[in-house]
């Protein structure tokens, strides 16, 4: 199609002038400007983004790396990032790693080749080499829950502690003493952070309680499996907290299938507050993680680094807060949770 040269010829000016009209980068007299604008129309001129990026050295592309778009945790995050980027004239290249670090690396390499303006690494599976590579190339980066922010590298720090502590205090106030936890895959950083927050809150309240930690995969199926392990364990806890809503929902469905009613027999608490948490039956009591905020801040952090290069990245804390819905209720009376005892409770209620 037609290039800037065609427009320049059509308007009888140099390509530089056309460029300045298009980008508003220098004053151009009204007369020339309108001539150029007419020529642009006539030629149906669309600037070539690649030529532009090559010449200018930057790309107005943001790379977004997430683990699994099919996990309802992410779409809202993606949406927020996309919206914030669009407002600033950036395009978002999406990369879905399926929790696979190799795939993340592969994608980041592509991002570097594309000279992306910044990368939002909103996943847990990243290897050190990747981060080093990004650091070496001086690509602005924003992480989720990585320990340290660095040069060009910002960090979004989710305050898991507050929300999880609120959740546990709520359970305690309902009389719960035996609280199990369904964690995510331990190799994921976010899973570890959530688990730690749970353990430290629980330890503070019940220094001698059993650990009661099971592991899932952050998906529904993993919640089901963990719930059936819990059921098989014999002693049913009075409450179960899951590291994310998906697993909480899976656990509820497994409990129900086994004839254990939520919240009558067991209370269940989730984490994330995905859209369906409010809609499930019973509506899920959970900890809200403001994903929209998170996505917005991710883009803002990148923009910050872009406008102040050679500067330390920023650290943003994302708050969480507890939301009571219908999946939690006072603890059943029986002190232990054997199947027999549970049945007895059911009769009483």
Partner DNA sequence: AGGTTTTATTGAATCGTTAAAAATCTAACA
Partner DNA sequence: TGTTAGATTTTTAACGATTCAATAAAACCT
Stretch that binds a second copy, among 49-57, 152-160, 177-185, 326-334 (CB under 8 A): 49-57
Closer residue to DNA in complex, CB, 31/148? 31
The tokens for 110 are: 């592509």
**Where does this chain touch a second copy (CB under 8 A) — which range of 39-47, 148-156, 202-210, 337-345?**
39-47
DSSP 2-37: --HHHHHHHHTS-HHHHHHHHHT-S---HHHHHHHH
If binding is defined by CB under 7 A, does position 109 make contact with DNA? Answer: no
Given 24, 29, 173, 349, the residue binding DNA (CB under 7 A): 29
Q: How far lies 327's CA from each of 76, 141, 252, 282, 283, in Å?
A: 23, 38, 9, 5, 6
By CB under 8 A, residue 229 contacts a second copy: no
Cα separation, 247 vs 220, in Å, equals 5
95: contact with a second copy by CB under 8 A: yes
Q: Is residue 260 a contact partner of residue 236, using CB atoms and an 8 Å limit?
A: yes
Under rule CB under 8 A, residue 220 binds a second copy: yes
**Helix pair angle (4-11, 30-43), 10° resolution:** 130
Rounded Cα distance, 69 and 76, in Å: 10
Query: Contacts with a second copy in 308-347 (CB under 8 A)?
Result: none
Looking at 10-18, 80-88, 131-139, 324-332, which segment touches DNA (CB under 7 A)? 10-18
- C-alpha span between 133 and 25 (Å, rounded): 33
Among 38, 41, 51, 333, binds DNA (CB under 7 A): 51
Q: Does 23 bind DNA (CB under 7 A)?
A: yes
> Which two tokens mark 73?
């945790």
Q: Should residue 343 be labelled a site residue for DNA when binding is judged by CB under 7 A? A: no
* Residue partners of 236: CB distance under 8 A and separation at least 6: 230, 260, 265, 266, 337, 338, 339, 342
Among a second copy, DNA, none, the one that 28 touches (CB under a kind-dependent 5 to 8 A) is: DNA
Distance CA 347, CA 292 (A): 45
List 63's β-bridge partners, or say none.
93, 119
CA distance 137 to 293: 28
* Piece of 18-26, 89-97, 147-155, 202-210 that binds DNA (CB under 7 A): 18-26
Q: Is 105 in the site for a second copy (CB under 8 A)?
A: no
> For binding to DNA (CB under 7 A), which residues are involved?
1, 3-5, 12-20, 22-23, 25-29, 31-32, 45-48, 51-52, 54-57
> For binding to a second copy (CB under 8 A), which residues are involved?
1, 44, 46-51, 53-54, 59, 61, 68-70, 72, 74-76, 78-79, 82-83, 86, 91-96, 103, 107, 109-110, 112-115, 136-137, 220, 249, 253, 256, 275-276, 279-281
């Amino acid at each position: 199609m037609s290039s800037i040269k065609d427009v320049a010829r059509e308007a009888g000016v140099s390509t530089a002038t056309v460029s300045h009209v298009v980008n508003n980068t220098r004053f151009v007299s009204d007369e020339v400007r309108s001539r150029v604008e007419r020529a642009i129309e006539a030629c149906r001129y669309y600037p070539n983004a690649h030529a532009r990026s090559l010449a200018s050295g930057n790309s107005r592309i943001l790379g977004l790396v997430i683990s699994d778009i099919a996990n309802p945790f992410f779409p809202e995050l993606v949406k927020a990032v996309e919206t914030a980027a669009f407002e600033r004239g950036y395009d978002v290249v999406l990369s879905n790693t399926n929790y696979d670090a190799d795939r993340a690396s592969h994608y980041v390499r592509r991002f570097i080749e594309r000279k992306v303006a910044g990368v939002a690494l909103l996943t847990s599976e990243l290897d050190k080499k990747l981060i080093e590579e990004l650091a070496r190339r001086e690509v602005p980066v924003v992480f989720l829950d990585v320990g340290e922010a660095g040069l060009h590298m910002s960090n979004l720090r989710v305050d898991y502690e507050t929300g999880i502590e609120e959740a546990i205090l709520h359970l305690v106030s309902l009389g719960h003493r035996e609280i199990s936890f369904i964690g995510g895959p331990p190799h994921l950083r976010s899973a570890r952070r959530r688990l730690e927050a749970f353990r430290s809150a629980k330890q503070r309240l019940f220094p001698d309680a059993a650990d009661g930690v099971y592991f899932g995969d952050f998906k529904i199926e993993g919640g089901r499996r963990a719930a059936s392990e819990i059921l098989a364990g014999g002693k049913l806890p009075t409450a179960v907290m899951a590291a994310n809503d998906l697993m909480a929902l899976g656990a509820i469905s497994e409990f129900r299938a086994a004839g254990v009613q939520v919240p009558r027999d067991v209370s269940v608490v989730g984490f994330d507050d995905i859209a369906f948490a409010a809609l499930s039956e019973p509506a899920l009591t959970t900890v809200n993680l403001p994903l929209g905020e998170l996505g917005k801040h991710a883009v803002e952090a990148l923009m910050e680094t872009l406008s102040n290069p050679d500067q330390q990245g920023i650290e943003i804390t994302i708050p969480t807060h507890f939301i009571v819905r219908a999946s939690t209720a006072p603890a059943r009376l029986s002190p232990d949770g054997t199947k027999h005892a549970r049945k007895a409770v059911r009769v009483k209620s």
